[in-house]
Structures are given as structure tokens and as C-alpha cells.
Amino acid sequence: MSRIVFCLAALAGLSVSSAALADGNAGRGAQVYRACVACHALEPGLHLSGPSLDGLMGRMAGEAVGFVRYSTGLKDAGFSWNAAALDGWLKDPASMIPDTYMTFRGIEDPQARADLVAFLEIAGQPGGGKKVVDEGLIPAGWLRAGAPEPIGEPSPEMRVTAVRHCGDSYFITTGDGRETPYWEKNIRLKIDSVETGPPAGTAVILGAGMGGDRFSVIFPSLAALKNLIAESCEAR
């Protein structure tokens, strides 16, 4: 079914939007691209909520190497990304692939879509992110989008050595020997298994939010999370 939906969208894009696509302006499209930065990076292999857009043009839909969160419809769509496909997708992703996980509602303005497609025809080539930065179309910070900076080697007060849960609380021990209690709803347990995460076998605690009372405990793997957390009301 998704293949039929795409074929209709592609035909409509080729027949109706070809003029708008031809008039697309990459400079204006770079400004439209702001909406994409929250979920997509242009750095090769850097996947966020959505896949990296490096090498997007000409790539088969649902086949970015290393990205595993595609919907079934997108994985089975059977088309590659080109200007017409992008125009249909950017207009209304959910109409083109009904089971898509992408929450973006779409861009109604055909000129804005044409401008964004013109930008992606440059940025979406292999290594295209560097090119659009060098040409002054986007700031360098947009290449990594919302990706966190690598944690690196944590200081003792950041390094988590033990976590115990008791009642409605977490008691977190850090490398400086201090055990601190936290209300369980103020602690987020996260896994960052890629290069931005903690060193192997190490967990860290970082502030989360402006209130100063919420924290994230970040583990490098599920195994590390299981090893460090215990259900106990007795201090170790």
C-alpha cells in the first residue's frame, strides 16, 4: 500500500511542483531547514531522533546505515530520495507513508518546500554538510544539530558508583564517596551507547533542567544500568 501511496505522490510532485522545484533557492531553504535541526544532523552517521541527512539524496528510503527506528511502511517503500520524493514527503509525511513515526506535520507552502529541497540537494550529498557550512548557508553548529557533546572522562563528583532505589527515592553514590538522596521523579535513567556517552563501564550524573533539582543518570549500556542499580533500603 505504501508503494502505491508513494507512486501517486511522486507523480503529483513531478507534474504539479516541477516549476516550484526548479525555482528553489538554497539560501532561503537554509532558513526553512531550521525546522529540521531539532531532529536531524548533517554529520555522517550521527543519528538523533531521525537519521543523519548526510548522503540522503539518492539513498533508498528507510536505509540509512545504523538507524533502526524506521516504520515498516518507510522500510518497505521501495523508492530513493530525489527532488520529487522530497517534495511529496515535506508536504505531508503522514499522507505519503501513513505509519511514519515522523511527527512533522509538513510544509504547505510549495515555494518553501522548493527552497528546502534546493538546500537538501546540496546538504544531502555525501559530505554536503561541510559544503553548506563553507558556503555560509548554515552555521557549523547545525551539523551536529541537537546532539550532546561527548561526556568524556567524568570528574569524581560526576561518576556514579552505585544507585539504590528505596520507596520513592534514589540514593546515588558518586566517585567522591558521597551518597545523595533524590525523589525518584526527579531522576531520569538514560542510556547513551554511542560516542557521546560515558566511557565503557561508567555511569555519570548530570543536571537536567533549570530548577536545580532534576538530574539524569547516564549509562553507557543496558548492562551497566542493570549492574549499578539495586532495590535496597540499606546503605551499601
Digit-coded pLDDT (tens) for 185-226: 999 999 999 989 999 989 999 998 777 889 999 999 999 999
- State yes or no: pLDDT of 31 exceeds 70: yes
The reply to whether the predicted model has a pTM over 0.85 is no
| Domain final residue, candidates 76, 109, 143 | 143
58 and 125 fall within a common domain: yes
Phi–psi pair at 152, nearest 5 degrees: 75, -160
In a domain, 100, yes or no: yes
Mean pLDDT of the chain: 90
181 and 138 fall within a common domain: no
133 and 191 fall within a common domain: no
In a domain, 151, yes or no: no
| Domain final residue, candidates 143, 177, 206 | 143
113 and 209 fall within a common domain: no
In a domain, 163, yes or no: yes
Residue 39 contacts residue 114 (beta carbons within 8 Å): no
In a domain, 236, yes or no: no
How far is 49 from 34, CA to CA, in rounded Å? Answer: 15
Other CB atoms within a 10 A radius of the CB of residue 144 amount to: 17
133 and 172 fall within a common domain: no
In a domain, 152, yes or no: no
Among residues 175, 180, 170, 178, which one has the least CA distance to residue 159?
175
How far is 143 from 136, CA to CA, in rounded Å? Answer: 13
208 and 129 fall within a common domain: no
Length of the chain: 236
Burial 217-230 (b: 16+ CB within 10 A, else e): bbbbbeebbeebbe
pLDDT computed for residue 18 by the predictor: 43
Rounded mean pLDDT, 96-123: 96
20 and 119 fall within a common domain: yes
Find the domain containing 209 and state its range.
159-231
In a domain, 148, yes or no: no
In a domain, 226, yes or no: yes
Poorest-pLDDT segment among 33-47, 58-72, 84-98, 205-219: 205-219
| Domain final residue, candidates 119, 143, 167 | 143
What's the burial of 133, exposed, middle or buried (CB within 10 Å: 0-12/13-18/19+)? middle
Q: Domain tally for the chain? A: 2
The CB-side HSE value for 118 (13 A sphere, CA atoms) comes to: 23
How far is 154 from 134, CA to CA, in rounded Å? Answer: 34
Among residues 62, 148, 44, 54, which one has the least CA distance to residue 102?
62
- At residue 57 the predicted structure's pLDDT band, cuts being 50, 70 and 90, is very high
CATH number, domain of 125, equals 1.10.760.10
